[in-house]
């Protein structure tokens, strides 16, 4: 019995190791939140609390609407979105992931859990 428990603990430890590995998906960064002002091809204008910024999409950009992964046709003017991505020095935001807030308003609890991290990491 003790041997079984020891093996189980050892196996559980091994299974837990990948969670501690350096996984880039774990550091998506802080999202930029705003309302889509306009969409044109692979670019959109996003109205944020600090002004309008340009957001560009790439072939790797993932778009989520609720629990579904959708294509860019779901991005429409007036939609509220959270954008995870990389800001270029020009101010343009290159989107890695866009989360369309389900209609009915801002779901801050989902937003917090989705970001999965606080800003400061000491890793």
Partner 1 sequence: MSRTVTSVVVALAVLVVVVGAALGTIALRGFSAREEPGAVETFVALRLRNLAMPPEARNRDNPLATTELAVAEGRDHFADHCAVCHANDGSGRTQINAGMYPPAPDMRTQRTQELTDGQIFYVIKNGVRFTGMPGWGGEDEENWKLVLFIRHLPKIMPKEIDLMREINQLEIHEEETGDHHSR
Provide, rounded to whole angstroms, the least separation between the CB of residue 1 and partner 1.
Answer: 36
Q: How far apart are CB 65 and partner 1 at their closest, in Å?
A: 25
- Round to whole Å and give the CA distance between 97 and 63: 6
Q: Assess contact for 98 and 75: CB atoms under 8 A.
A: yes
| Closest CB to partner 1 among residues 25, 73 | 25
The least distance separating partner 1 from the CB of residue 56, rounded to whole angstroms, comes to: 9
Name the site residues for partner 1 (rule: CB under 8 A).
21-24, 27, 29-30, 86-89, 94, 119-123
């Amino acid at each position: 019995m003790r041997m079984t428990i020891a093996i189980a603990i050892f196996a559980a430890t091994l299974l837990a190791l990948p969670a501690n590995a350096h996984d880039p998906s774990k550091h998506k960064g802080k999202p930029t939140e705003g309302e889509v002002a306009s969409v044109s091809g692979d670019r959109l204008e996003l109205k944020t609390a600090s002004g309008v910024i340009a957001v560009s999409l790439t072939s790797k950009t993932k778009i989520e609407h609720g629990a579904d992964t959708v294509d860019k046709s779901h991005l429409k003017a007036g939609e509220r979105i959270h954008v995870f991505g990389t800001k270029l020095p020009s101010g343009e935001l290159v989107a890695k992931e866009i989360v369309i807030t389900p209609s009915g308003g801002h779901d801050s609890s989902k937003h917090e859990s989705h970001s999965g991290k606080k800003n400061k990491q000491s890793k």
